[in-house]
C-alpha cells in the first residue's frame, strides 16, 4: 500500500476533510455489498458498508486498548470505563438516551472489554442510523462520567464479577493469567470489582477521566458502519460525527512481544478444582502472534491436524480406548503480540517429524476459499464487530475482508517454515498442562490431600507441579502406536458449486410430509434439511447421543468440507438436521439415516454416554441462578415433561438391551416432517425423502397418535409463587423469574398488541431495575412463548444479591409506574415503536439457516402459520395506543383483575454480608449532623446511593470521608463506633420474604400443574392446498 492508494476528499460545508482508499477490496463473489475505507484527519480509520437490503443498520467502534492497559493499582479500569460511556454525553446528557433511542427504533447495543481492545456496537432500524451514530460518537469525544452514574456503575461491575464468580471458565481463565511469569501484564484481573476500583479512595472518577483522556485516542480506533445510505453519504456522516474525537498523540497500539510463559511456567502440571463436575486436560504451548502470519496461518494448519477426528487421528485413538469423549485444538489470541496453542493432549514425537505433503495445504486452502466465496450474509451488528476488530490487523487494506478468512498455498519454503517454527514450541517441556476436576477427584487419583493454594480473585483451588525427568523422557520418545497417522485425502470437498414467501408441500405419504422451497433469495450452493415417562426420555436421549458418537470418524471430513449433521432428541422424538453443499448432501443424509436405523450400541460406548449425560445433568444445577429460575418457570407451565432430577434417577439403571430395544421401538411407527430448503431441486428433494422412507422401513402412526407439545395455562385472577434454594451453596446470587400470561398466540391482533407491549416495556425495565436501582447485572423484560407455540406472556428476569421477596416488590413497583408511562407516551414515540416492530417482522432472512429455522418452527408446532410475520407487520399499522394501555391495565398491572401471574424465586444459600438498613443510614447521618462534621450529605448520597448498603463498603466509604483534615480522630472514632448499635436497633428486613395478601404459594409442583388447563392440540391454521401439484 502506498500514499497514492489514498485520495484526499476536501472539506464540504460541515463535513471535515478525510482520505479515501482508492483500490477495490477483495471480497466474496456472492457478497453484493459495497465497501469503502476512509481515514479521518484525527487518525481514525473507518470501513463503510453500503447494503441496500440490510434489515438493520449497525456500527462497531474498536478501541485498541483493553484491560492489559489498566493501571497496576486499579484492576478493571478499562472495563469500568466501558460501562460509564453508556451513561450520557454532553450532547445527550440523559443517561438512558442512547438505549431509549435504540429501543424505540428496533435496536439494541452492547460492548465488551478484552485484553487488548474494547469494542462498542449497536444495531438500529436503517432510517434511524444518523441519530444513533450521533449519540454513539459522543462516547468517544464528550462523555459525562457523571458522579452519580460512576457510583452506580461500580455496583454494576461488582455485580458482573460476582455473576461470574462460580463459573469455571472465568475461574480457570483467571488462574491461567495469575500463573504468568512475575510482572507480565497478562496476569492482570480484567473484570475488576468494587474493591479494586475504589482502592484509590475518592479518586476513582478523577483517575478514570485521566485514563480515558490518555488512552482513548482517535488513532487507536477503527470503526465499521453498515447502512442503506450510499457510501458517500456514510462517509460524510462518519467524518462529521467522529472527527471531533481527539488525537492525544499516542503511538501505535501497544504491542507486547514478551510471552507470559517463562522457564518457571513451562513444563508444569496445574491441578485445578472445578465447581461443576467434569474432567478436562488442557495443554497450552507458547505461540507467535498470528495476525502477521495471515497469509499461511500456521496456527490453523496445526489445529487442523491435531484437532482432526477422522481415522488415524489422536481423537479416534483415544476415543477408541474409551479415554475421552471430545478433543479440540486451536490457537488462542491472548493479547496484541503473544498467543497460545491449546489442545487437550500433548502430541507424540512422530507428529513433529512427519513430512507434510503439499496437498495438505491445498485442501486447507480449498476449504477456506469455498467457505469465503459462499459465506452467507451475517447479521449487520455481528458483521460490523468482526470487521472493526480485524481492521487493526497488519494486512494490506485491500485484504481487510479476505485476509482473515483465506489461506494461501505454500509458495517456496516460507509456508512450511512457519508451520515448523510453530511446531518447535509444541514440546512437553515448553507447555503447561491444566488438569480440571472436582477437589475430591484430584485427591482420589493422587492418593491423598494435596497442598492446595487459592487464586486471589476467584478463590480457585490449585496446585503447581513440575514434570520429573522420567516423564519428560517418556513423552519425548518416538511414537510406537501404528493407529496414529496423518489423515488421508478429504473426499467430501465439494466439486459442484454451480450456483416465494413460504415452503410448499410437495410430497405426502402415510408416514411423512415434505415441505420444499427452492432457494430464490440466496444464490448459495447449500441445502438445509430438518427432519409417557422419564425413562423413555432418557432412552431417546441416549440413542441420539450414540448415533452421533458412532458417526464421528466418518463425518469429520464432511464437516471440514462444509457439510454438517446432528441427531437431536427432544420431547416429540428425534430431529435430524443436515446442511451443506448440495452435491454431497444426499449421500451424507442417507449414511446418517442408515446409522440411525442400524445402530448397534456397545456396552463401552453406552457407559461413556451415560457418564457424559450424568455430568451434564448434574452440572445443570450449578448453573447461574437465573438459568434455574427460568428452567423451573418453563417446567411448571409445560404439559407432560420431566425434571432433570427425575431423569437422573432413571439414568443409572438403563441397560444395553433396553437401548437396543428402544431404537427399534422409536422407528417402528413414525411420523416424519421434512423441510428441504436451498439449492436442491424438487425431484432431488422427493428422491431424498423416498430414500429415507426406504431405509427406515417404518409403519405410519395413526393420526391420533402423533404427539404434540402443549402448554399449561394460568387461570385469570391468579397470583402464584414458588420458592426453592439455589443448589450451589457458594452462589451468592438469587434470581426471580416473573411471568404474566397474556393469552392466545394464535389470536393475531392480541399477539401483535402483546408483543408491542413487551417491546415498549423492555428498555424502561432495564433502565429502572438495573441502571437506577442497581438490583443486579442480569435484568431483562421480554415476550415469552410457552411450549407448543400457542400461548404467550411477558417475563421479567432479575438476578441479584438482594432477596427474591425484595426483587418481586421492586418489579411490582416498576409495573405500577408503567401504566402512567404508557398513557403519557407521546404519539410519535408510540409510532416509532410500531415502525420498529413492523420493520423487524418484514425484514428478510439474512441467510439460509435463519430462513430454515423460521419455517421449521411453524412445521414443528403443527400450526403451519408460515406468513405470520407478514400478517403481524400489516396488523400493527392499525394498532392504537389505547389498545396497548388497555392490555396492560387488564392483564399486567399488579391490581389487574384478569392478571395471571407466576413467579419463581431461586434463593441463594450463601450467607450474605451484613447490611445496613435505610433507617440505620438515616440515624447515622443524623449523628454526623449532630457532631457538626463539615460534610455535604447530599453529595455523599450521590457517591453512595444504595438502599441497604453492605456494612463493610459503607464503613470503608465513611472512613475515607472522615479523614483527619475533615474531623479529629476521636470524633471520627466515636461516630463510626456507634454504627453497630444502630444496625442492631434498625435491622435489615428479611428480603427473601414476599409480603402480599393475595399470593398463593405453590408447595407441590405436580399438584399445582394438575390444576391448570392444557392448551388445545395444534391444528393447521391454514389449508395451503399444495398437493397434488404445488405451485413452485
Place of cell 449519540: 135
CB within 8 Å of 162: residues ≥ 6 apart = 193, 732, 733, 777, 801
Radius of gyration (C-alpha) of the chain in whole angstroms:
30
Which spans in 450-584 are helix H?
469-476, 534-550, 552-560
* Pairing of β 672-678 and β 699-700: unpaired
Answer for the pair 298, 422: CB distance below 8 angstroms, yes or no.
Answer: yes
* 3-state SS, one letter per residue, for 815-871: HHHHHHHHHHCCHHHHHHHHHHHHHHHHCCCCCHHHHHHHHHHHHHHCCCCCCHHHH
Answer for the pair 186, 177: CB distance below 8 angstroms, yes or no.
Answer: yes
Answer for the pair 189, 80: CB distance below 8 angstroms, yes or no.
Answer: no
* Pairing of β 432-437 and β 6-9: unpaired
> Could you tell me which of 780, 842, 791 has the C-alpha nearest to residue 814?
780
Answer for the pair 108, 122: CB distance below 8 angstroms, yes or no.
Answer: yes
Which spans in 697-826 are helix H?
748-765, 804-824
Q: Cα(303)–Cα(314) distance, rounded to whole angstroms?
A: 12
> Could you tell me which of 368, 391, 393, 361 has the C-alpha nearest to residue 292?
393
Residues listed for the chain: 1032
Given the residues 55, 82, 693, 801, the one annotated as active site: 82
Q: Is the dihedral of CA 311, 315, 320, 325 positive or negative?
A: negative
Beta partners for 272? 436, 462
Q: Cα(514)–Cα(507) distance, rounded to whole angstroms?
A: 5
Chain centre to alpha carbon of residue 10: 43
Q: Cα(679)–Cα(586) distance, rounded to whole angstroms?
A: 12
CA distances from 258 to 185, 264, 373 (A): 10, 15, 37
Answer for the pair 899, 893: CB distance below 8 angstroms, yes or no.
Answer: yes
> Could you tell me which of 252, 234, 222 has the C-alpha nearest to residue 9?
234
Query: H or E segment at 615?
Result: helix 603-620
Exposed, middle or buried by CB within 10 Å (0-12, 13-18, 19+), for 581? buried
Answer for the pair 141, 246: CB distance below 8 angstroms, yes or no.
Answer: yes
Answer for the pair 260, 289: CB distance below 8 angstroms, yes or no.
Answer: no
Task: State the cell numbers at 637.
Answer: 407451565
Verify whether residue 82 is a known catalytic residue. Answer: yes
> What SS3 state is found at 629?
helix
Q: Is the dihedral of CA 693, 695, 699, 705 positive or negative?
A: negative
Q: Cα(76)–Cα(753) distance, rounded to whole angstroms?
A: 43
Which residues participate in catalysis according to the annotation?
82
Amino acid at each position: 500500500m502506498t500514499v497514492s492508494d489514498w485520495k484526499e476528499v476536501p472539506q464540504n460545508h460541515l463535513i471535515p476533510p478525510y482520505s479515501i482508499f482508492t483500490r477495490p477490496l477483495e471480497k466474496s463473489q456472492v457478497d453484493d455489498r459495497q465497501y469503502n475505507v476512509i481515514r479521518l484527519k484525527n487518525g481514525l480509520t473507518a470501513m463503510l458498508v453500503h447494503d441496500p437490503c440490510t434489515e438493520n443498520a449497525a456500527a462497531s467502534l474498536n478501541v485498541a486498548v483493553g484491560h492489559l492497559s489498566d493501571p497496576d493499582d486499579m484492576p478493571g479500569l478499562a472495563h469500568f470505563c466501558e460501562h460509564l460511556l453508556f451513561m450520557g454525553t454532553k450532547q445527550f446528557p440523559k443517561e438512558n438516551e442512547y438505549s431509549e433511542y435504540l429501543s424505540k427504533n428496533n435496536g439494541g447495543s452492547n460492548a465488551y472489554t478484552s485484553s487488548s481492545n474494547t469494542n462498542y456496537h449497536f444495531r438500529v432500524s436503517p432510517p434511524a442510523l444518523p441519530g444513533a451514530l450521533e449519540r454513539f460518537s459522543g462516547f468517544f469525544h464528550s462523555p459525562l462520567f457523571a458522579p452519580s452514574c460512576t457510583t452506580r456503575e461500580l455496583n454494576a461491575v461488582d455485580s458482573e464479577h460476582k455473576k461470574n464468580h462460580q463459573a469455571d471458565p472465568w475461574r480457570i481463565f483467571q488462574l491461567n493469567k495469575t500463573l504468568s511469569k512475575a510482572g507480565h501484564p497478562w496476569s492482570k484481573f480484567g473484570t475488576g470489582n468494587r474493591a479494586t476500583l475504589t482502592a484509590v479512595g475518592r479518586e476513582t472518577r478523577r483517575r478514570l477521566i485521566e485514563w480515558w483522556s490518555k488512552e482513548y485516542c482517535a488513532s487507536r480506533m477503527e470503526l465499521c458502519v453498515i447502512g442503506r445510505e450510499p457510501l458517500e453519504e456514510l462517509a460524510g456522516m462518519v467524518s462529521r460525527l467522529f472527527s471531533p474525537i481527539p488525537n492525544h498523540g499516542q503511538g501505535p497500539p501497544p504491542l507486547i512481544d514478551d510471552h507470559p510463559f517463562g522457564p518457571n511456567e513451562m513444563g508444569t502440571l496445574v491441578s485445578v478444582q472445578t465447581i461443576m463436575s467434569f474432567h478436562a486436560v488442557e495443554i497450552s504451548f507458547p505461540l507467535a502472534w498470528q495476525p502477521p502470519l495471515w497469509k499461511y496461518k500456521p496456527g490453523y494448519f496445526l489445529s487442523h491436524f491435531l484437532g482432526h477426528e477422522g481415522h488415524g487421528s489422536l481423537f479416534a485413538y483415544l476415543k477408541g480406548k474409551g479415554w475421552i469423549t471430545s478433543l479440540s485444538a486451536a490457537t488462542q489470541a491472548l493479547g496484541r503480540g503473544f498467543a497460545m496453542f491449546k489442545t487437550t493432549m500433548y502430541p507424540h514425537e512422530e507428529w513433529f517429524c512427519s513430512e507434510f505433503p503439499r496437498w495438505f495445504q491445498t485442501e486447507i486452502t480449498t476449504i477456506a476459499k469455498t467457505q469465503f466465496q459462499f459465506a452467507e450474509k451475517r447479521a449487520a451488528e455481528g458483521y460490523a464487530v468482526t470487521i472493526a476488530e480485524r481492521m487493526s490487523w497488519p494486512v494490506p487494506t485491500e485484504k481487510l475482508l479476505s485476509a482473515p478468512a483465506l489461506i494461501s498455498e505454500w509458495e517456496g519454503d516460507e509456508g512450511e517454515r512457519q508451520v515448523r517454527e510453530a511446531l518447535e514450541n509444541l514440546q512437553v517441556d515448553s507447555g503447561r498442562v491444566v488438569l480440571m476436576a472436582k477437589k475430591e477427584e484430584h485427591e482420589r487419583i493422587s492418593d491423598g490431600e494435596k497442598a492446595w493454594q487459592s487464586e486471589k480473585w476467584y478463590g480457585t483451588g490449585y496446585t503447581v507441579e513440575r514434570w520429573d525427568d522420567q516423564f519428560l523422557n517418556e513423552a519425548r520418545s518416538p511414537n510406537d502406536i501404528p493407529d496414529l497417522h496423518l489423515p488421508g485425502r478429504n473426499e467430501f470437498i465439494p466439486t459442484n458449486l454451480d450456483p416465494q414467501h413460504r415452503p410448499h408441500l410437495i410430497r405426502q405419504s402415510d408416514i411423512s410430509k415434505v415441505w420444499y422451497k427452492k432457494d430464490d433469495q440466496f444464490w448459495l450452493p447449500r441445502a438445509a434439511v430438518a427432519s409417557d415417562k422419564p425413562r423413555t426420555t432418557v432412552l431417546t436421549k441416549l440413542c441420539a447421543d450414540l448415533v452421533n458418537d458412532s458417526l464421528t470418524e466418518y463425518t469429520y471430513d464432511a464437516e471440514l468440507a462444509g457439510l454438517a449433521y446432528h441427531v437431536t432428541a427432544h420431547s416429540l422424538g428425534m430431529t435430524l438436521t443436515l446442511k451443506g453443499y448440495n452435491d454431497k448432501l444426499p449421500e451424507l443424509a442417507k449414511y446418517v439415516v442408515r446409522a440411525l436405523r442400524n445402530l448397534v450400541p456397545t456396552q463401552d460406548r453406552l457407559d461413556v454416554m451415560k457418564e457424559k449425560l450424568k455430568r451434564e445433568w448434574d452440572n445443570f444445577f450449578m448453573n447461574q441462578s437465573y438459568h434455574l429460575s427460568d428452567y423451573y418457570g418453563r417446567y411448571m407451565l409445560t404439559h407432560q415433561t420431566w425434571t432433570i432430577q427425575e431423569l437422573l434417577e432413571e439414568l443409572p439403571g438403563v441397560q444395553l438391551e433396553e437401548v437396543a430395544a428402544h431404537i427399534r421401538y422409536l422407528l417402528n411407527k413414525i411420523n416424519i416432517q421434512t423441510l428441504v430448503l436451498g439449492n436442491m431441486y424438487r425431484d432431488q428433494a422427493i428422491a431424498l425423502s423416498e430414500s429415507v422412507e426406504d431405509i427406515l422401513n417404518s409403519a405410519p402412526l395413526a393420526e391420533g397418535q402423533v404427539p404434540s407439545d402443549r402448554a399449561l395455562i394460568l387461570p385469570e385472577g391468579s397470583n402464584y409463587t414458588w420458592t426453592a434454594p439455589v443448589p450451589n451453596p457458594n452462589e451468592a446470587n438469587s434470581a426471580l423469574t416473573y411471568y404474566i400470561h397474556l393469552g392466545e398466540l394464535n389470536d393475531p391482533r392480541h399477539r401483535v398488541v402483546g408483543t408491542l407491549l413487551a417491546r415498549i416495556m423492555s428498555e424502561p425495565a432495564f433502565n429502572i431495575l438495573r441502571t437506577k436501582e442497581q438490583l443486579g447485572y442480569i435484568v431483562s423484560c421480554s415476550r415469552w412463548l410457552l411450549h407448543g407455540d400457542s400461548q404467550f406472556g411477558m417475563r421479567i428476569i432479575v438476578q441479584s444479591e438482594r432477596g427474591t421477596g425484595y426483587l418481586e416488590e421492586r418489579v411490582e413497583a416498576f409495573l405500577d409506574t408503567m401504566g402512567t408511562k404508557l398513557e403519557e407516551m407521546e404519539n410519535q414515540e408510540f409510532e416509532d415503536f410500531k415502525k420498529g416492530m413492523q420493520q423487524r417482522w418484514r425484514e428478510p432472512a439474512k441467510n439460509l439457516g435463519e430462513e430454515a429455522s423460521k419455517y421449521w418452527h411453524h412445521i414443528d408446532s403443527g400450526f403451519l402459520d408460515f406468513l405470520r410475520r407478514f400478517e403481524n407487520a400489516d396488523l400493527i399499522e392499525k394498532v392504537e395506543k389505547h389498545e396497548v394501555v388497555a392490555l396492560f391495565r387488564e392483564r399486567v398491572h399488579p391490581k389487574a383483575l384478569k392478571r395471571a401471574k407466576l413467579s419463581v424465586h431461586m434463593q441463594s444459600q450463601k450467607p450474605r454480608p451484613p447490611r445496613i438498613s435505610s433507617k440505620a443510614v438515616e440515624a447515622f447521618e443524623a449523628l454526623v449532623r449532630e457532631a457538626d462534621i463539615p460534610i455535604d450529605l447530599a453529595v455523599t448520597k450521590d457517591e453512595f446511593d444504595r438502599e441497604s448498603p453492605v456494612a463493610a463498603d459503607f464503613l470503608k466509604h465513611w472512613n475515607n470521608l472522615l479523614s483527619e483534615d475533615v474531623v479529629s480522630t476521636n470524633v471520627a472514632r466515636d461516630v463510626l463506633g456507634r454504627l453497630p448499635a444502630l444496625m442492631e436497633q434498625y435491622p435489615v428486613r428479611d428480603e427473601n420474604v414476599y409480603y402480599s395478601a393475595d399470593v398463593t404459594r405453590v408447595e407441590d409442583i405436580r399438584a399445582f400443574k394438575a390444576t391448570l388447563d392444557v392448551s388445545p392440540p395444534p391444528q393447521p391454521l391454514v389449508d395451503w392446498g399444495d398437493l397434488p401439484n404445488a405451485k413452485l
